[in-house]
Amino acid sequence: MADIGIETTQNVRINFQLASIGERISATLLDFLFLFVIYMILLLVIALIGKGVAWILFLLVPLMFYSLIFEVFMNGQTPGKKIMKIKVSTVDGSAPAFLNYLIRWMFRLVDISLTYGICGILCIVLGEKGQRLGDILAKTTVIRTKRKVSIENTILVDIPQNYELVFLESRKINEKDLPLFKKVIAQIESMEDPVEKLQFGLRARKNVMEKLGIKTEMQPLEFFKTLIVDYNLIHRDR
């Protein structure tokens, strides 16, 4: 499955791998299995308490909104998607809003229910961004949450002895920026073409330099590693 480039809030383009059709189908089947288990449990409970059809309908209504509810409150994932390590993302990189989730949920009727999944599969296979009809209209797609390159989750690094702050502007760095710097470093280190690696690094460095007000000719890889160490030095004793 192809990659999709997403612009972050720092105006740095990060590539994410699109979820494969097999992963998406597997996630859907897992969700159906989960729904079936919930359905059977509800029927058992209703049978034990001896309530009527009205209670059955009342308890089953939330199941109709299963994917919508989970995607809204689980950051683009249902239990099936979480197991398969995939999630819903907008194609422009911004966080999906409720309307995005609502539109793609509404078109499950066409993509999955009425066409037995054929419409959704064809759209995903034939399209370039891994989108079913609901995704196209909602401007979303489904990506893998486990990236091709490993990225350390921690923002803590060892500070060399006698290390001195390199960029005073590092005080402007927000903790939320650190994972982005880690991703940029990982992507630079994973790229094989030296020209593409340099171009990507320079673009990323330029965008961050403009935001922080830094002027430097430091190589991109060293630049981002320095920012992380600077941040750790600034916040070490706080």
User: Would you state the pLDDT for residue 47?
Assistant: 76
Mean pLDDT value across residues 116-144? 91
Max mean pLDDT among 13-27, 67-81, 85-99, 179-193 falls in 67-81
**CA–CA separation, 94 and 106 (whole Å):** 21
User: Would you state the pLDDT for residue 48?
Assistant: 77
Contact assessment for residue 71 and residue 127, using Cβ atoms and an 8 Å cutoff: no
pLDDT at 204 over 50: yes
Task: Name the percent of the chain lying above pLDDT 90.
Answer: 42
pTM, 2 dp: 0.60
**CA–CA separation, 78 and 91 (whole Å):** 19
**Within a 13 Å sphere around the CA of 79, how many CA atoms are in the beta-carbon half?**
10
Neighbours of 236 (CB within 10 A): 9
User: Would you state the pLDDT for residue 122?
Assistant: 92
Residue of higher predicted confidence among 167 and 177: 167
Neighbours of 58 (CB within 10 A): 11
What is the identity of the amino acid at 71?
E
Residue 84 phi, psi dihedral angles, 5° rounding:
-85, 0
Mean pLDDT value across residues 125-150? 83
Residue of higher predicted confidence among 128 and 205: 205
pLDDT at 152 over 80: no
pLDDT at 121 over 70: yes
Chain centroid, CA 13 distance in Å: 14
Q: What is the mean pLDDT of the chain?
A: 83
Q: Which residues neighbour 142 within 8 Å (Cβ) at sequence distance 6 or greater?
A: 18, 19, 24, 81, 86, 87, 88, 89, 130, 135
pLDDT tens digits for range 48-83: 776 666 666 666 777 789 999 999 999 899 999 999
Residue of higher predicted confidence among 56 and 222: 222
Mean pLDDT value across residues 183-189? 89
pLDDT tens digits for range 27-44: 999 999 998 888 888 778
Contact assessment for residue 234 and residue 165, using Cβ atoms and an 8 Å cutoff: yes
Residue of higher predicted confidence among 79 and 129: 79
- For residue 153, what pLDDT band results from cuts at 50, 70 and 90? very low
Domain chopping of the chain, boundaries: 3-144, 168-235
pLDDT at 223 over 80: yes
Mean pLDDT value across residues 157-176? 84
- For residue 134, what pLDDT band results from cuts at 50, 70 and 90? very high
- For residue 234, what pLDDT band results from cuts at 50, 70 and 90? confident
